Amino acid sequence: MKEFMMIFRHEPNNSPQPSPEQMQASIKQWQDWIGGIAAQGKFVSTNRLGFQGKTLKPGNVVTDGPYAEVKEIVGGYIIVKSDAIEDAVELATGCPILQVGGHVEVRDIMEIKK
């Protein structure tokens, strides 16, 4: 099986802090989705990304924020195992980011030969 990375992109929302109940519900949605992938034996690893970020450009130019020029930010990623990219896209259909107007970018991971 090959490995694919799903990158979760969304627009940073400026709405007030979610309530603990909303947070709990959101965590459950994500964990149920990831748990479902893991139950198929296709889970590799995952991480959430925070809101800190800096971008380095040629000429040692450093800009603040992950979303200096684009509207979207990357909220996190998951790495899964599947036979082809179509299967990985199928796994992505349940991703909770889709319910808040975000989208998932599915990329194949190039193996680095050592």
Please report, as ranges, the residues that interact with another protein according to CB under 8 A: 28, 31-32, 34-36, 38-41, 43, 46
DSSP track, 2-18: EEEEEEEEEPPP-SPPP
What's the residue count for the chain? 114
Question: Measured in whole angstroms, how far is the alpha carbon of residue 90 from the centre of its chain?
Answer: 15
Closer to another protein by CB, 53 or 94: give it.
94
- In degrees, rounded to 5, the angle at the alpha carbon of residue 86 between the alpha carbons of residues 80 and 92 is 50
Residue 88 and residue 84: Cα distance in Å, rounded?
7
Do residues 37 and 6 lie in contact, with contact meaning Cβ atoms separated by under 8 Å?
no
Using the minimum distance from each CB to another protein, give the nearer residue, 39 or 112. Answer: 39
Q: Which is nearer to another protein, 33 or 106 (CB)?
A: 33
Instruction: Give the residue with the Cβ less far from another protein, 34 or 73.
Output: 34
Q: Nearest distance from residue 92's CB to another protein, in Å?
A: 13
CB of 33 to another protein, least distance (A): 9
Cβ 78 to another protein, closest distance in Å? 10
